[in-house]
Structure 1
Amino acid sequence: MMTKRSALLAGLGGICLQGCVAAAAIPVIAGAGSIVRSGVSGDDEAQAPEGTVIVAQPPAQAPSSDVPETAASAPYLATSAPAEAADAPTTPVAAAPPPAEPAVLTPPPAQEPIAQTRAASPAISEVEAAAQEALASIRAAEAERVSGMAPVPSAAATTGAQSDSTYAAIRSYTLQTLAGGIPLPSAQLADPSSLEPVRRECAGDPPTIVIDLDPAGDLAPISGPIAVNTGLGRVLAEMRARGVTIAWVTNRGAMDARAIRDRLVASGLDPEARDVVYVERYPGESKQSRRDTLAQNHCIIAMAGDERSDFDDLYNYLRDESGAQSLEPMLGAGWFLIDNPVGQ
């Protein structure tokens, strides 16, 4: 009984051994070159069939010919291509000749740029022309001085001299009035209808100079060119520094107030836009009404304009101004006839 059992077990062991060796041989073949050894001990190794334990080893050249060759060739191609591209620029750099054109050019003569500059710059010719004109004037004046002939003043020069003289009279009278102390003499008539040069009385109100901006029979210009009135502007600047208020009167409406202000600034008469401008507050308002309103809290010590009605509206109702001859002493003593200060 025991003998049959032992024989059965031995047979089963051989079958199991063959199965194990076969199982071990499968990965060897699939791995293409891997050697696996199945170990058995004792008598079992001798009883195993010969075909199941011998595995043929693949040739050693197979690994280097398949995968490694492809892998090695790829990096070689990748590195060799940039090397050729890097070597490419060396050929044109070495072959490019140095530019010879600057060496061939010759500088132009020094006289040509000067001539071109003078021809292209009208400012230089204008300056030269002005210098020549000034030189000619100096020579003419010298010749007249030597010959004893005095030059005849032009109409514009005469008008300018008269204006400067009038501005000087305004300054002189104002300084004299301020030095007289309070009460200050007013430049307004106490009773215009009497045609008598009797002045109003002023309390200790701020001294004020009123200047009319409208030319005779017209309105103050608000456009067009305007000259800087340095003579009157200088006098008014001094008066402001002495505490005198400057007021301007015009029949322009409120919509033109800004334009009037800009014109005063541009002419130098009120460069800092500090003065008061009395425009027409409603249609038909008289300038006398505005002067009277100002006189309620100011002492009008001087008035300036280009016609007598700028001093009092009574002249607008006279058929003949000679009928108010009794008021002529006011001229130069509070009333001052001047050219329109903002005229063109």
Structure 2
Amino acid sequence: MKGRGILAVALALSLSACVTAPAQQASTVPAPAAKPAEPPATMQWLYGSGEAGALGIQAYHAMRDFVLVQALAKRSGQSVVLAEGSTLQAPQFRTCRPDEPLAVILDVDETALLNLGYEYDEAKGRAYDAGIWDRWEKTGAGAVAPVPGAVTALRAIRQAGVTVVFNSNRQAANAAATAAAIEGAGLGPAKHGETLFLKGDVAPGSEKDPRRALVANRYCVVAMAGDQLGDFSDLFNARDLAIPARRAAATGGTFARLWGNGWFLLPNPVYGPGVRGSFDDVFPADKRWSDPAGEK
């Protein structure tokens, strides 16, 4: 057998010497990208810095204290979930019934859980891939960590009799693995269909408003937490909403009063609709500066 292998190799070499492949038939498979010397600066900040950890604790302390006040007062006023028919210009909120139990709604990824395992894999130079993310949802439960401050805050909120509900765009098909990730990080319990709602549970798309409405019909929702504006209302994700207009809506009027008073935002400079914008989007024309020493 060994002699046959040598003859086969010799024959293959002789044939390849007689045939020259056209240049256009050369392999187009790209070489693997070299692993960067360091993670992207945004990941360094979110997953490694003390500043990001402190901000997480600050946000969860604020949310815990706000919710405990509502629970102590047995609040039954307005829900913090936008009512159907709301617009960014005219937000409306449903009035809670006096006998309704209280709840909070949280996003999962980068709000309650830090996806350290997945982001490590992506930080090595790979672009986002939906198939890889799906495999991460299924198998990555052991490579996550709780956002600093989340475990103790959610424990205190539950002890006050307030239900914690998770609303995530992870796939409903991966519900068991997502619940395991949440509970393994000390943030549970999370029961699919009761305290955990996922993409595909209520509507086929990635919109979260239908799931929020479902929860708001069962509870008086006194607080929400997320790392992107879409974790509070899908109105902020409208395709025709310009970046400056989105910022203006989030920081003005009714919404300006909600931050820290029912809505609690966690930092995420790594991904999502907040990480975009041209120079014109980000820097107003009347707020630009050039070093006078560089002018000729």
Does TM, normalized by the shorter one, top 0.5?
yes
Q: Aligned AA for 2:232?
A: F
Secondary structure, in 3 states, of the residue corresponding to 1:192?
Answer: coil
Q: Report the counterpart of residue 87 of structure 2 in structure 1.
A: 193
Question: Relative to 1, partners in 2 of residues 1:199 and 1:165: Cα closer, same or farther, differing over 3 Å?
Answer: same
The 5-angstrom pairing of residues 281-292 of structure 1 reads: 281=201, 282-284=203-205, 286-292=207-213
Of the candidates 277, 300, 316, which is equivalent to residue 237 of structure 2?
A: 316
Q: Aligned AA for 2:104?
A: I
Shift of residue 278, structure 1, vs aligned partner: 0.3
Shift of residue 200, structure 1, vs aligned partner: 2.3
Whole-Å separation in 2 of the counterparts to 1:197 and 1:163: 27
Question: Relative to 1, partners in 2 of residues 1:264 and 1:185: Cα closer, same or farther, differing over 3 Å?
Answer: same
Q: Report the counterpart of residue 332 of structure 1 in structure 2.
A: 260
Q: Report the counterpart of residue 197 of structure 2 in structure 1.
A: 278
Q: Does 1:175 align with 2:93?
A: no
Q: Aligned AA for 2:105?
A: V
Secondary structure, in 3 states, of the residue corresponding to 2:51?
Answer: helix
**What percent identity do the matched residue pairs reach?**
30
Shift of residue 179, structure 1, vs aligned partner: 2.8
Question: Relative to 1, partners in 2 of residues 1:159 and 1:182: Cα closer, same or farther, differing over 3 Å?
Answer: closer
The 5-angstrom pairing of residues 255-270 of structure 1 reads: 255-270=173-188
Q: Aligned AA for 2:229?
A: R
Whole-Å separation in 2 of the counterparts to 1:165 and 1:331: 13
Q: TM-score, normalised by structure 2?
A: 0.56
Whole-Å separation in 1 of the counterparts to 2:247 and 2:170: 29
Secondary structure, in 3 states, of the residue corresponding to 2:230?
Answer: helix
The 5-angstrom pairing of residues 1-344 of structure 1 reads: 156-190=49-83, 192-193=86-87, 195-196=89-90, 198-203=92-97, 204-214=99-109, 222=137, 223=140, 225-229=143-147, 231-270=149-188, 272-273=189-190, 276-280=195-199, 281=201, 282-284=203-205, 286-317=207-238, 318-319=241-242, 320-324=245-249, 325-326=252-253, 327-339=255-267
Whole-Å separation in 2 of the counterparts to 1:227 and 1:255: 22
C-alpha contact (below 8 Å) 2:71/2:162 kept by paired residues: no
Shift of residue 185, structure 1, vs aligned partner: 3.3
Q: Report the counterpart of residue 29 of structure 2 in structure 1.
A: none
Q: Aligned AA for 1:156?
A: S
Query: Between Structure 1 and Structure 2, how many residues are aligned?
Result: 187
Secondary structure, in 3 states, of the residue corresponding to 2:100?
Answer: coil
* Larger of the two Rg values belongs to structure: 1
Secondary structure, in 3 states, of the residue corresponding to 1:268?
Answer: coil
Shift of residue 183, structure 1, vs aligned partner: 2.0
Deviations 1:74-93 (A, max 9, x none): xxxxxxxxxxxxxxxxxxxx
Whole-Å separation in 2 of the counterparts to 1:235 and 1:260: 20
Q: Aligned AA for 1:167?
A: Y
Q: Report the counterpart of residue 34 of structure 2 in structure 1.
A: none
Whole-Å separation in 2 of the counterparts to 1:158 and 1:233: 18
Secondary structure, in 3 states, of the residue corresponding to 1:264?
Answer: helix
Shift of residue 285, structure 1, vs aligned partner: 5.3
Whole-Å separation in 2 of the counterparts to 1:285 and 1:253: 9
More helix by share: 1
Whole-Å separation in 1 of the counterparts to 2:90 and 2:74: 24
Q: Superposition RMSD on alpha carbons, in Å?
A: 2.9
Contiguous gaps of at least 5 residues in structure 1: 1-153
Question: Relative to 1, partners in 2 of residues 1:278 and 1:264: Cα closer, same or farther, differing over 3 Å?
Answer: same
Whole-Å separation in 1 of the counterparts to 2:206 and 2:48: 37
Contiguous gaps of at least 5 residues in structure 2: 1-46, 112-127, 272-296
Shift of residue 337, structure 1, vs aligned partner: 0.5
Deviations 1:274-316 (A, max 9, x none): 6711012253152100110111111111000001111011101
Greater relative contact order: 1 or 2 (C-alpha under 8 angstroms, separation 6 or more)?
2
Whole-Å separation in 1 of the counterparts to 2:146 and 2:205: 31
C-alpha contact (below 8 Å) 1:164/1:231 kept by paired residues: yes
Whole-Å separation in 2 of the counterparts to 1:300 and 1:258: 25
Whole-Å separation in 2 of the counterparts to 1:166 and 1:302: 12
